[in-house]
C-alpha cells in the first residue's frame, strides 16, 4: 500500500476501510441475515460514488477559513431523513430556509457562510436504549430508515440490509436535486425573495427577511449601475451546498469508501462531511477508527460529560497533522453546561495547537418530554445555549465558528416558543419528525437573526 494510506495508529496497526471491524462498534444493528448484509455491501461497493475526493478537499479548505475566523459554518437539516417523506418540494423547502438563514447571516454579520446540510445520508439514529417497550411488548428500537421502520411491529423493526441500498439511492436523488438547485439558478441572489415561503413571509421574521432581500436587490442594482458585470460574477448565481450525516452504520460507510486514483487517499463518498455522535465517540471504538482514515472533513459531537483529555485524544487521533478544516468540534452540552464545560476544552485544544472549527449544537442538550408526552425543545433554551457559547468564545478570544441545528422547511409544531409562541398544547398539531423535534422555517429564520446579532456584537 502506498505511503499516503498508512496512518499512525499506535499499536493497532495500519488503517484499512475494514479495520474498524476489530474494535467495539457501538450502536450497530444486530443484522439478522448475514448473507443479505454481505449482498447489500457488495451492491453498494459497486455503485458510483456520491461525492468525490476533490469536493471533500474543497470543503476542508472552506472549513479552514472558518477555523481562521474568516467564515461561519451553518450545518442544518433533519434529525433523521425519512424514506416516506421524500419529495422535491420537501428538499426545495429545506434548501430555501437554509439559504435564507445563510443570506441573513452574511448580510447582517458580513461573514461568508459555509452551508452544510444534514441531508442526503442522514438516515441512521443512535438510540439511548436498544429496545422500546410499549405495554407488555418489547421490540428493537427504531434506528432510522437505513436500518428499520418506526412502526411498532416486530417485522417493521427487523433490521433489513436492503435499506442500506435504498438509502444510497435516496441520497443520490436528493444530492442530484441539490446540485441542480444550487448550481442551476435557484440559489441566484436575484431570487432571494423567492426563498421566503408564504407562511414565513406573513410573519414578523419573514417581513424582516423581506427587508434584507430588498436591500440586497438594491445593492445588486447599485453594482450594475457602477458598471460591474453581474452576469459574469459566478458567486452571485451559484453556491456550494455540502452534504453531511452521522457516520453511524459502518457497513454503509465502508462500502462507499473509495481510493482517490490521483493521490491514493481514501475518501468516504457517502457525503462531504461526516460526524461521529456523542454515543459513538469512544477513542478506542470503531467509529473513531473508521473516520481517522478518510480524508473527508469530520466532526465529533461533545456532550456534557466530555473531558479535556478525551478531546485531546480525539484531536490527536483525528487531526494528527493539525490540518485546518479537518476537524470540527460540535459541543452540545445544554444551556446550563456551557459556562463550565467549554472554557477548559478551548484552552486544551488551543494549547495542543489543533486548528479546529468550533461549532455549537444548541439542540441536543436541551431536549425534554412535554406533559403530553412529546419530545421537544424550547426556542428560548436553544438561543440561551448559543448566547452562552458565543459569550465564552468571545471572552477567550476564540472564534465561534458555527451552528449545527435540526430544522425543516415545513410549518411543523415540534419546538416550543419562538415568535409564534408555540405552546405544549400545540405540539400535536403538526408533529411529524421521526426522531428529534426540529425548528420550523419561521423559528429557523428567527434563530438566524439572533445568531447574526451574536456574530456582530
Residue ranges that bind ligand PEP, judged by CB under 6 A: 79, 126, 277-279, 301, 332, 364, 436
According to CB under 5 A, which residues from 325 to 354 bind Co ion?
Answer: none
CA atoms within 13 A of residue 104's CA, in its CB half-sphere: 28
Question: Shortest approach of Co ion to residue 134 CB, angstroms?
Answer: 21
Question: Which region among 19-27, 226-234, 305-313, 432-440 touches Co ion (by CB under 5 A)?
Answer: 432-440
The residue (of 167 and 200) whose beta carbon lies closer to ligand PEP is 167
Rounded least distance, CB 436 to ligand PEP, Å: 6
Residue 79 sits in the site that holds Co ion (CB under 5 A): yes
Query: Which entry of Co ion, ligand PEP, none binds 332, CB below 5 to 8 A by partner kind?
Result: ligand PEP
Count of other CB atoms within 10 angstroms of residue 297? 28
Min separation Cβ 323 and ligand PEP, Å: 23
* Separation between Cα atoms, residue 83 and residue 70, nearest integer Å: 37
Kindly determine how many residues on this chain lie close enough to bind Co ion according to the rule CB under 5 A: 2
Asked if residues 267 and 257 have their Cβ atoms less than 8 Å apart, the reply is yes
> What values do phi and psi take at 101, rounded to 5?
-65, -45
CB closer to ligand PEP, 295 vs 359: 359
For residue 436, state whether it binds Co ion (rule: CB under 5 A).
Answer: yes
Establish if 434 lies at the interface with Co ion (CB under 5 A): no
Q: Least separation, in Å, of the C-beta of 246 and ligand PEP?
A: 6
126 binds, among Co ion, ligand PEP, none (CB under 5 to 8 A by kind): ligand PEP
- Quick one: what does residue 287 bind among ligand PEP, Co ion, none, with the CB cut-off 5 to 8 Å set by partner type? none
CA-to-CA distance for 360 and 403, rounded, in angstroms?
A: 5
Residues 347-380, buried b or exposed e (16+ Cβ, 10 A)?
Answer: ebbeeeebbbbbbbbbbbbbbeeeeeebbbbbbe
Angle at 362 between CA 141 and CA 373, to 5 degrees: 45
* Total count of residues recorded for the chain: 457
**By C-beta, is 143 or 364 nearer to ligand PEP?**
364
Please report how close the Cβ of residue 221 comes to ligand PEP at its closest, in angstroms. 41
**Among residues 163 and 301, whose Cβ is nearest to ligand PEP?**
301
Nearest-angstrom CA–CA distance, 378 and 395: 26
Torsion of CA 116, 119, 124, 126, to 10 degrees: 40
DSSP code string of 164-182: HHHHHHHHHHHHHHHHHHH
- Under rule CB under 5 A, residue 414 binds Co ion: no
Nearest-approach distance from CB 84 to ligand PEP, in angstroms: 19
Kindly state the greatest CA–CA separation across the chain: 74
CB of 437 to Co ion, least distance (A): 9
| Interface with Co ion (CB under 5 A) | 79, 436
Amino acid at each position: 500500500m502506498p505511503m499516503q494510506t498508512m496512518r499512525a495508529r499506535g499499536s493497532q496497526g495500519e488503517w484499512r476501510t475494514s479495520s474498524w471491524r476489530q474494535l467495539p462498534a457501538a450502536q450497530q444493528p444486530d443484522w439478522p441475515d448475514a448473507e443479505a448484509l454481505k449482498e447489500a455491501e457488495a451492491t453498494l461497493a459497486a455503485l458510483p460514488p456520491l461525492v468525490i475526493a476533490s469536493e471533500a478537499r474543497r470543503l476542508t479548505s472552506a472549513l479552514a477559513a472558518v477555523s481562521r475566523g474568516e467564515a461561519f459554518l451553518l450545518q442544518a437539516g433533519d434529525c433523521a431523513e425519512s424514506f416516506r417523506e421524500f419529495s422535491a418540494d420537501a428538499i426545495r423547502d429545506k434548501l430555501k430556509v437554509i439559504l435564507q438563514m445563510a443570506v441573513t447571516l452574511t448580510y447582517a454579520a458580513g461573514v461568508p457562510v459555509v452551508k452544510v446540510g444534514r441531508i442526503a445520508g442522514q438516515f441512521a439514529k443512535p438510540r439511548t436504549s436498544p429496545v422500546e417497550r410499549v405495554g407488555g411488548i418489547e421490540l428493537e428500537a427504531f434506528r432510522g430508515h437505513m436500518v428499520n421502520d418506526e412502526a411498532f411491529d416486530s417485522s417493521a423493526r427487523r433490521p433489513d440490509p436492503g435499506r442500506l441500498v435504498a438509502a444510497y439511492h435516496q441520497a443520490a436523488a436528493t444530492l442530484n436535486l441539490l446540485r441542480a438547485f444550487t448550481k442551476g439558478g435557484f440559489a441566484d441572489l436575484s431570487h432571494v425573495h423567492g426563498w421566503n415561503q408564504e407562511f414565513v413571509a406573513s410573519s414578523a421574521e419573514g417581513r424582516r427577511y423581506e427587508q434584507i432581500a430588498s436591500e440586497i436587490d438594491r445593492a445588486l442594482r447599485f453594482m450594475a449601475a457602477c458598471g460591474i458585470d453581474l452576469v459574469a460574477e459566478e458567486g452571485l448565481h451559484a453556491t456550494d451546498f455540502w452534504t453531511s450525516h452521522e457516520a453511524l452504520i459502518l457497513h454503509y460507510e465502508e462500502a462507499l469508501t473509495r481510493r482517490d486514483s490521483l493521490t491514493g487517499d481514501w475518501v468516504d463518498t457517502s457525503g462531504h462531511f461526516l460526524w461521529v455522535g456523542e454515543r459513538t465517540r469512544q477513542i478506542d471504538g470503531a467509529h473513531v477508527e473508521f473516520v481517522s482514515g478518510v480524508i473527508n472533513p469530520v466532526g465529533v459531537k461533545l456532550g456534557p460529560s466530555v473531558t479535556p483529555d478525551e478531546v485531546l485524544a480525539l484531536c490527536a487521533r483525528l487531526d494528527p497533522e493539525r490540518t485546518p478544516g479537518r476537524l470540527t468540534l460540535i459541543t452540545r452540552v445544554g444551556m446550563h453546561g456551557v459556562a463550565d464545560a467549554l472554557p477548559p476544552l478551548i484552552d486544551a485544544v488551543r494549547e495542543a495547537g489543533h486548528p479546529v472549527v468550533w461549532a455549537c449544537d444548541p439542540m441536543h442538550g436541551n431536549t425534554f418530554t412535554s406533559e403530553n408526552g412529546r419530545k421537544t425543545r424550547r426556542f428560548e433554551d436553544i438561543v440561551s445555549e448559543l448566547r452562552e457559547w458565543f459569550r465564552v468564545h468571545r471572552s477567550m478570544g476564540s472564534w465561534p465558528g458555527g451552528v449545527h441545528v435540526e430544522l425543516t422547511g415545513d410549518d411543523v409544531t415540534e419546538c416550543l416558543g419562538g415568535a409564534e409562541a408555540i405552546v405544549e398544547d400545540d405540539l400535536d398539531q403538526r408533529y411529524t419528525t421521526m426522531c428529534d423535534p426540529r425548528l420550523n422555517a419561521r423559528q429557523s429564520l428567527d434563530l438566524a437573526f439572533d445568531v447574526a446579532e451574536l456574530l456582530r456584537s
